[in-house]
Structure formats: structure tokens, C-alpha cells
Amino acid sequence: MPNIIKAQSEEQFNDIGAGIIASLLQSNPKALLGLATGSSPVGVYGRLVELYKEGSVSFAQAQSYNLDEYVGLPVDHPESYRTFMNEKLFNHVDILAENTHVPLGASPDPAQAAAGYTELLRQAGRIDLQILGVGLNGHIGFNEPGDELQGFTHVVTLDESTRKANARFFSSIEEVPKQAITMGIASILQAKQILLLVRGGEKAEIIARAMQGPVTTKVPASLLQTHPNVIVLADQEAGRLI
């Protein structure tokens, strides 16, 4: 059973999440970090920036590998995940640009880009700490519910529910990409430790199903039950059913 932590406030949520990441970097400055985008980690990244500015943590020797990226968005597009990571974390800490890795969604051959990312992860070795969020349908990364799930980095067609959930970041749903490159479930589960960040009452039902229901590819996040070292950090609303 994953270790479930319920934060009493947004400040505590961010402090706990950032503290877990900072503690790893303090004990292992060369840590391999698996990073996620979305609304749940934003405050955690903000707190990490504060810790860096206070001199409490350094990313100088660390490497990062992001979970996913939209297919077809230029790297500098305001809604690309590369832009997100630059604006929320990378530009504000001492991580080396060449040590930050995000799938190349703008590649003219996304399938080849996905295969290249799989090889990059293989060469890197096991991620020390993988940060995750969860979608309303239970997806982790962009591994959408289905009869079977792919193990390694691949191109995925996004569920309509996922595109609708992400439409708030774009001018209209028509602008939301229909595909993404995502790490696969096997890559995620190979991490030594996983930190699942869950915020908001709309996530309460799916996180309860994922953590307490059957392990099924219909709820990809439920596969985290098979991992020996998972921390679920939830706010009060998201954690009210677990």
C-alpha cells in the first residue's frame, strides 16, 4: 500500500513535496529526477526555487527527465512542457540546461523521438525519484486507460477527456494537440521512488479508485500499487476518500 500523506494546507503540501525532493538532492547531489507538469507540482517547484535561493539545495549535478510532451508544439510554444519546466523551475535554479531532458514533441518523426527517449532513459539508469500527477481518468504521464498499456516511451492519442481538461491552457480545445509522447508504465515503475502529487476535490474519486481499487489498465494509476516505494501527497479535498 502506498504511503499516503494528507496535507492540511497548500503551504504544507508544497513544503512536504519540495522537502522530499530537496532531501534527495542533499543526500545524492547527482540524483536523476523524473519530473511532471500540470497544476499539482507548480507550488512544489516554486518552493524548491525558494529553497535554492536560500542555499538549501542545489541542482548543479542533478539530471532531469520529464514524463511527456505534446506532439507538434514548437519547443518555445507557451504551452509546451519544455516551456512550462523552464518557467516554473529550470530558469530559476542552477540545473545545467544540457542535463534537462524533455521528449521532442516537435520532431518530424514523433515515433523516432519516442524511441530515442527510451534509449536515453536506458542509458541514464533508474530514476531516483519520479514525480507524477494523475488525470481525472486515472492516467499517469499520458498513459491513457485501455485494454493494455505500453511499457516504454511511445506516441499516444489523447483521450477527449484529457484534451478537455487541458483546454483551459489554450484559446480553444481545437488548439489542444491530439497526440503526445509519454514515458511508458514500465519506465515509470522502474523508478526507485515515486511521489504522486494530487490536488483538488475533482481528483478524490479517481485517486481512491487508483489506491484502493483493483489494479487494472483501465485505471493506469492503480498500477502504482505494485511499486514498493510510493508516496501519495494529497491535499484535503483530493484525499477525502482515502
Instruction: Give the catalytic positions in this structure.
Output: 68, 137, 139, 144
Among 106, 89, 92, residue whose Cα is nearest residue 33: 89
Three-state DSSP class for residue 22: helix
- Label residue 200 left, alpha or beta by phi (over 0 means left) and psi (-120 to 50 means alpha): left
Beta strand residue intervals within 74-134, DSSP E: 100-101, 129-132
Give the integer Cα–Cα distance in Å for 87 and 92: 8
The alpha carbon of residue 197 and the mean position of all alpha carbons in its chain are separated, in whole angstroms, by: 9
State how far the alpha carbon of 70 is from the alpha carbons of 27, 36, 198, in Å: 33, 13, 21
Look up residue 178 and give its three cell numbers. Answer: 491530439
Give the integer Cα–Cα distance in Å for 198 and 25: 22
Give the integer Cα–Cα distance in Å for 224 and 173: 30
